[in-house]
Amino acid sequence: MSHGWATKAIHLGHDPYAGTGDLVPPIHVSSTYTFPTAEAGGSRFAGESEGYIYSRLGNPTTNLLEQRIAAMEGAEAAVVTGSGMGAITSLLWTLLRPGDELLTDTTLYGCTFAYFHHLLQEFGITVRHIDLRCPDAVSEAVTERTKGVYFESPANPNMRVVDIAHVCKEAKKYGLWTVVDNTYLTPYLQRPIELGATYVVHSATKYLGGHGDLIAGAIAGPTEEMKRVRLVGLKDATGAVMSAFDAHLILRGIKTLHLRMERHCQSAQAVAEHLHEHPKVARVFYPGLPSDPGYEVMKRQASGFGGMVAVELKGGYEAGIRFLNGLQLFIRAVSLGDAESLAQHPASMTHSTYTPEERARHEIGEGLVRLSIGLEDLPDLLRDLDQALESV
């Protein structure tokens, strides 16, 4: 019998009646594993027999989380990592070689942008930004050196939405792989692999963990490729493994992911509508507003619009900073996806890795304020936003 999405997120891969009968899967803290004989150890290293070797290569608690994330994403397999950046770098150090070319959308999370521009480019990999919202963007940009296409949707911080099925179909025509950073929506709301993507990456620090108490990442994709990522990008290149304790916290977090995401979406929609009407607001970036350029595409490819809202105030940078400083319930902090509502200023914080000219080119406003809508009572959130806007 095939179970539903939430049932898998709660039960998959653990038999509560086995062994000591733990309802909750135990946390396996061992860094290394015993070999009954020297030959048995050699045979595990040679890949001829099953069995754990060393926790950088695999651990029962992180492996259970990998099974659940793969099932949630509709992927064949997954690999979990010590951070979202650990996921992105472990995947791309596995897939790219000097001379290769990577196509990407105009907007990326600040450290992904820095990795692409300050590392990949210095190692002889060309990264080209194209407007993936244009239907012919991939076919016009592809060269014989192009290996893949990487994007976020909705993008951090300006909520740009890319038509995932269309871009993946175009990329496939030229034999390119595609990577979608699904951090903002989570597999509860959007499953890029089912829409044709080859890989998904996550900062599991955000909604998957959901409680602001860990740093983690995940990659999902085809089984054989995930083996390579584990043995090349993760084991040898980055070493960015997840601890068993963090895997336990994420296993706990994803049991309530569906409930949390429903509430994040509801409140974010209400906040976006409220701010959209406000006389001090120049523009709200939220694809759940029918006036947003991403609205129609999002309705097709996701089952909700997510919990992130960005806002540009009339009065630009100065107004944005005053607004941030006026908030009393929203907490001034980067990161997102927690129970607490968070607010930050991308130009001076998460996206300060871009130069001002790059931010202008990549559509990241200097006055933009990003809100991660938490799980508090909505009237309290609206009241806090209103009183902070008063001070502008």
Rule CB under 6 A: which residues touch ligand 4LM?
83-85, 109, 111-112, 152, 156, 181, 183, 203, 205, 215, 217, 334-336, 350
Catalytic residue among 105, 163, 181, 338: 181
Catalytic residue among 133, 147, 206, 260: 206
Instruction: Name the residue nearer to ligand 4LM (CB basis): 73 or 152.
Output: 152
Q: Which residue is nearest to ligand 4LM (CB)?
A: 84
Q: CA of 296: how far to CAs of 127, 138, 163, 293, in Å? A: 29, 21, 10, 8
Judge whether 17 counts as a catalytic residue: no
Instruction: Name the residue nearer to ligand 4LM (CB basis): 180 or 195.
Output: 180
- Least separation in angstroms between CB 192 and ligand 4LM: 13
Residues 6+ apart with CB under 8 A from 159: 285, 286, 287, 292, 294, 308, 309, 310
- Least separation in angstroms between CB 305 and ligand 4LM: 16
Catalytic residue among 109, 115, 188, 354: 109
Residue 316 CA to residue 26 CA, distance in Å, equals: 51
Instruction: Name the residue nearer to ligand 4LM (CB basis): 142 or 219.
Output: 219
- Least separation in angstroms between CB 321 and ligand 4LM: 17
Instruction: Name the residue nearer to ligand 4LM (CB basis): 44 or 198.
Output: 198
Q: Could you tell me whether strands 342-344 and 331-332 are parallel, antiparallel, or unpaired per DSSP bridges? A: parallel
Residue 376 CA to residue 260 CA, distance in Å, equals: 11
- Least separation in angstroms between CB 315 and ligand 4LM: 24
Instruction: Name the residue nearer to ligand 4LM (CB basis): 142 or 371.
Output: 371
Judge whether 322 counts as a catalytic residue: no
Instruction: Name the residue nearer to ligand 4LM (CB basis): 10 or 237.
Output: 237
- Least separation in angstroms between CB 8 and ligand 4LM: 24
- Least separation in angstroms between CB 256 and ligand 4LM: 20
Judge whether 181 counts as a catalytic residue: yes
Catalytic residue among 8, 56, 255, 322: 56
Catalytic residue annotation: 56, 109, 181, 206
